[in-house]
Amino acid sequence: MAPKESSTKLWGGRFTGSLDPIMTQYNESIYFDRIFYSQDIRGSIAYARANIKTGILTQHEFSEIERGLKAVYKEWESNTFEIKSGVDEDIHTANERRLGEIIGKEISGKLHTGRSRNDQVATDMRLWLKEQLDRLEGYLVDFLKVIAARAEKEIEALMPGYTHLQRAQPIRWSHWMLMYGSFFASDLQRLRELKVRVNKCPLGCGALAGNPFDIDREAMAEELGFDGLIMNSLAGVADRDFVVETMQWGSMLMMHMSRWAEDLIIYSSGEFHFVQLADAYSTGSSLMPQKKNPDSLELLRGKSGRVFGQMAGLMMSVKGIPSTYNKDLQESVEPMLDHVKTVGDSLQIATGVLSTLTIDTDAMLASLTPDMLATDLADYLVRKGVPFRETHHISGQVVALAEQKKKPMDQLSFEELQGVDRRFEKNIIEVFDYSKSVEMRSAKGGTSKKAVLEQIEAVKKALEGGV
């Protein structure tokens, strides 16, 4: 006689009836949490090894469990593991079920002693996430290296700087890139801080109250590569802050990515033509043959909304649940998986875009106009001892005069300028020099060549350090 469905479940002894088939499907997570197969097996081996010292397992029993779990791992790796729908509720159930088939249930049934899927899944998620955060750090470092390299190579290129999307003052193209370099360097620092908090071990916390067999949690944590323990067993199984914080970090990075993409979308338009994307990161129109669309950048901008939504959705799922573990926490897995993939893909696309785009220095220079030097005109008089509030007004009068005369400011005659203020001297014409303007902004953080080179070094230094 076939066993009842409930008897095949890890939790089935209490139940006499069967689950509604829709509830079975609604409840199971195996089709997405199977991604943790490697971490789950590593955690199980570490847990079994620690249970030799507790007396739960003999050396022979541990060896059999380790042998069986390695065989299960090979099946996952070779894509031959057969998931049994309705039986394999999650990755933990699936691995333990298959282990029992390989080595027998008499030994495999001892593996779960003192352990709960509550601390098991938290361990799996942390192990998986810390590996993924290392990978994301590598992608972000590569992106920042490209920013620094292009900023150094193209430091002579000048372009308009904008506020309110209105042309404001001349800046270096490199200075614009390093604005985002600064943002992304801060994201790198935050990522490294996040990794420290993710890298804590919950294994051995049990269902909520801890392990009754005095298992050596430090030994398990060390074997699994964790830096320390979560010291409260209730927190160990209840905590999904590490997932929320990952999504908060990813959302901030993607916020910066979206702004970066928006700038480049604007700069690549025909009205600007500052940059041109490589064909590898563009698409055409099905109707208009002349079109070259910056789809890569538009997708980066759009994906930011996706990751923001995942973060907000998980926070709404977690905010109202009571302590400690509740099944609501299962909702942390799928968004985490997609979030990490989306951020990783986005960083790789952004690196490709920036590595291959070309800049049109002539178009950038042609977009500079003499009125963008109005502040330099005011600064000229400041250096003669005139209060800035007065010079600002005088410069504004010069702008108005140029508009009235319908000619650029640098084409006003010396007599016309003196008609605005007698303190203008013959050398006033030297103000109307875009290269000189950017070089005057020499204080740290400015757009002079020296200041920009210092910013490049700051980005390079950020790549070197840890937290």
Neighbour count for residue 39 (Cβ, 10 Å):
22
Residues recognised as catalytic: 164, 285
**Using CA atoms, how far apart are residues 290 and 121, in angstroms rounded to an integer?**
53
**Amino acid letter at 420?**
V
Query: How many residues are listed for the chain in this entry?
Result: 467
For residues 112-139, one letter each, b for 16 or more C-beta atoms within 10 angstroms of the residue's C-beta and e for the rest, the string is bbbbbbbbbbbbbbbbbbbebbeebbeb
Mapped to the 3 state alphabet, what secondary structure does the chain carry?
A: CCCCHHHHCCCHHHCCCCCCHHHHHHHCCHHHHHHHHHHHHHHHHHHHHHHHHCCCCCHHHHHHHHHHHHHHHHHHHCCCCCCCCCCCCCHHHHHHHHHHHHHCHHHHCCCCCCCCHHHHHHHHHHHHHHHHHHHHHHHHHHHHHHHHHHHHHCCCCEEEEEECCEEEEEEEHHHHHHHHHHHHHHHHHHHHHHHHHHCEECCCCCCCCCCCCCCCHHHHHHHHCCCEECCCHHHHHHCCHHHHHHHHHHHHHHHHHHHHHHHHHHHCCCCCCCEECCHHHCECCCCCCCCCECHHHHHHHHHHHHHHHHHHHHHHHHCCCCCCCCHHHHHHHHHHHHHHHHHHHHHHHHHHHHHHCEECHHHHHHCCCHHHHHHHHHHHHHCCCCCHHHHHHHHHHHHHHHHHHCCCHHHCCHHHHHHHCCCCCHHHHHHCCHHHHHHHCCCCCCCCHHHHHHHHHHHHHHHHCCC
For residues 218-254, one letter each, b for 16 or more C-beta atoms within 10 angstroms of the residue's C-beta and e for the rest, the string is eebbebbebeebbeebebbbbbbebbbbbbbbbbbbb
Neighbour count for residue 10 (Cβ, 10 Å):
14
